[in-house]
Structure 1
Amino acid sequence: MSDLYGRHKAVLPDWLALYYADPIEITHGEGRYVWDAAGKRYLDFFGGILTTMTAHALPEITKAVSEQAGRIIHSSTLYLNRPMVELAERIAQLSGIPDARVFFTTSGTEANDTALLLATSYRRSNQILAMRNSYHGRSFSTVGITGNKGWSPTSLSPLQTLYVHGGVRTRGPYAELSDDEFIAACVADLEDLLGHVRPPAALIAEPIQGVGGFTSPPDGLYAAFRRVLDERGILWIADEVQTGWGRTGEHFWGWQAHAENGPPDIVTFAKGIGNGMSIGGVVARAEIMNCLDSNSISTFGGTQITMAAGLANLTYLLEHDLQGNARRVGGLLIERLRAVTAQLPGVREVRGRGLMIGVELVKPGTDTADPETAAAVLEAAREEGLLLGKGGGHNTSALRIAPPLSLTVAEAEEGAAILERALRSCVQ
Structure 2
Amino acid sequence: MPDWLALYYDDPLEITHGEGRHVWDSAGNRYLDFFGGILTTMTAHALPEVTKAVSEQAGRILHSSTLYLNRPMVDLAERIAQLSGIPDARVFFTTSGTEANDTALLLATTYRRGNTVLAMRNSYHGRSFSAVGVTGNRSWSPTSLSPLQTLYVHGGVRTRGPFAHLDDRAFIDACVADLRDILGHTRPPAALIAEPVQGVGGFTSPPDGLYAAFREVLNEHGILWIADEVQTGWGRTGDHFWGWQAHARSGPPDLVTFAKGIGNGMSIGGVVGRAEIMNCLDANSISTFGGTQITMAAGLANLAYLVEHDLQGNARRVGGLLIERLRAVAAKLPGVREVRGRGLMIGVELVRPGTDEADPKAAAAVLEAAREGGLLIGKGGGHDTSALRIAPPLSLTVAEAEEGAAILERALRSSY
State if a TM-score over 0.5 links the two structures: yes
Measured in 2, the distance between the counterparts of 1:266 and 1:297 equals 19
Measured in 2, the distance between the counterparts of 1:314 and 1:56 equals 15
Cα distance, 1:76 vs structure 2: 0.3
Measured in 1, the distance between the counterparts of 2:224 and 2:163 equals 25
Alignment of 1:6-21 (within 5 A): 12-21=1-10
Secondary structure at the aligned position of 2:125 is classed as: coil
Cα distance, 1:341 vs structure 2: 1.0
Secondary structure at the aligned position of 1:259 is classed as: helix
1:60 to 39, 49, 56: 49
Measured in 1, the distance between the counterparts of 2:263 and 2:196 equals 21
Partner of 2:292: 303
Matched, 1:49 2:38: yes
2:411 to 402, 414, 422: 422
Partner of 1:313: 302
Partner of 1:96: 85
Cα distance, 1:57 vs structure 2: 0.2
Cα distance, 1:250 vs structure 2: 0.2
Secondary structure at the aligned position of 2:273 is classed as: strand
1:331-384 deviation line (CA, Å, top 9, x unaligned): 000000000110111000000000000000000111110000000000000001
Measured in 2, the distance between the counterparts of 1:240 and 1:17 equals 25
Secondary structure at the aligned position of 1:284 is classed as: strand
Partner of 1:362: 351
Specify the code of the residue in structure 1 equivalent to 2:335.
G
Specify the code of the residue in structure 2 equivalent to 1:126.
N
Q: Is there any run of 5+ residues in structure 2 with no aligned partner, and where?
A: none
Matched length: 416
Secondary structure at the aligned position of 2:57 is classed as: helix
1:362-421 deviation line (CA, Å, top 9, x unaligned): 001111100000000000000010000000000100000000000000000000000000
Measured in 1, the distance between the counterparts of 2:233 and 2:281 equals 26
Partner of 2:386: 397
Measured in 2, the distance between the counterparts of 1:177 and 1:341 equals 23
Measured in 2, the distance between the counterparts of 1:192 and 1:337 equals 39
Partner of 2:69: 80
Partner of 2:231: 242
Partner of 1:28: 17
Q: Is there any run of 5+ residues in structure 1 with no aligned partner, and where?
A: 1-11
Measured in 2, the distance between the counterparts of 1:33 and 1:408 equals 12
Cα distance, 1:130 vs structure 2: 0.1
Measured in 2, the distance between the counterparts of 1:169 and 1:366 equals 18
Matched, 1:200 2:209: no
Measured in 2, the distance between the counterparts of 1:235 and 1:321 equals 32
Cα distance, 1:261 vs structure 2: 1.1
TM-score by length of 2: 1.00
Partner of 1:108: 97
Matched, 1:178 2:167: yes
Specify the code of the residue in structure 1 equivalent to 2:24.
W
Matched, 1:232 2:221: yes
2:395 to 406, 412, 419: 406
Specify the code of the residue in structure 2 equivalent to 1:286.
A
Cα distance, 1:33 vs structure 2: 0.1
Q: CA RMSD in A?
A: 0.3
Matched, 1:167 2:143: no
Partner of 2:251: 262
Specify the code of the residue in structure 2 equivalent to 1:182.
F
Cα distance, 1:109 vs structure 2: 0.1
Measured in 2, the distance between the counterparts of 1:341 and 1:261 equals 36
Measured in 1, the distance between the counterparts of 2:112 and 2:104 equals 12
Measured in 1, the distance between the counterparts of 2:409 and 2:11 equals 22
Cα distance, 1:17 vs structure 2: 1.5
Measured in 1, the distance between the counterparts of 2:157 and 2:192 equals 16
Partner of 2:281: 292
1:192-224 deviation line (CA, Å, top 9, x unaligned): 110010000000000000000000000000000
Partner of 2:313: 324
Measured in 2, the distance between the counterparts of 1:145 and 1:296 equals 23
Measured in 1, the distance between the counterparts of 2:148 and 2:222 equals 18
Partner of 1:213: 202
Specify the code of the residue in structure 2 equivalent to 1:349.
E
Measured in 1, the distance between the counterparts of 2:330 and 2:216 equals 39
Partner of 1:7: none
Alignment of 1:338-353 (within 5 A): 338-353=327-342
Alignment of 1:94-173 (within 5 A): 94-173=83-162
Measured in 2, the distance between the counterparts of 1:394 and 1:261 equals 31
Measured in 1, the distance between the counterparts of 2:238 and 2:42 equals 13
Partner of 2:26: 37
Partner of 1:375: 364
1:13-50 deviation line (CA, Å, top 9, x unaligned): 10001100000100000000000000000000000000
Secondary structure at the aligned position of 2:214 is classed as: helix
1:230-282 deviation line (CA, Å, top 9, x unaligned): 01000000000000000000000000000101000000000000000000000
Secondary structure at the aligned position of 1:366 is classed as: coil
Specify the code of the residue in structure 2 equivalent to 1:62.
T
Secondary structure at the aligned position of 1:394 is classed as: coil
Specify the code of the residue in structure 2 equivalent to 1:230.
N
Measured in 2, the distance between the counterparts of 1:241 and 1:366 equals 33
Secondary structure at the aligned position of 2:193 is classed as: strand
Any runs of at least 4 consecutive aligned residues in structure 1 with deviations exceeding 3 A, and if so which? none
Specify the code of the residue in structure 1 equivalent to 2:177.
A
Secondary structure at the aligned position of 1:91 is classed as: helix
Secondary structure at the aligned position of 2:250 is classed as: coil
Measured in 2, the distance between the counterparts of 1:258 and 1:17 equals 35
Secondary structure at the aligned position of 1:278 is classed as: coil
Measured in 2, the distance between the counterparts of 1:261 and 1:20 equals 43
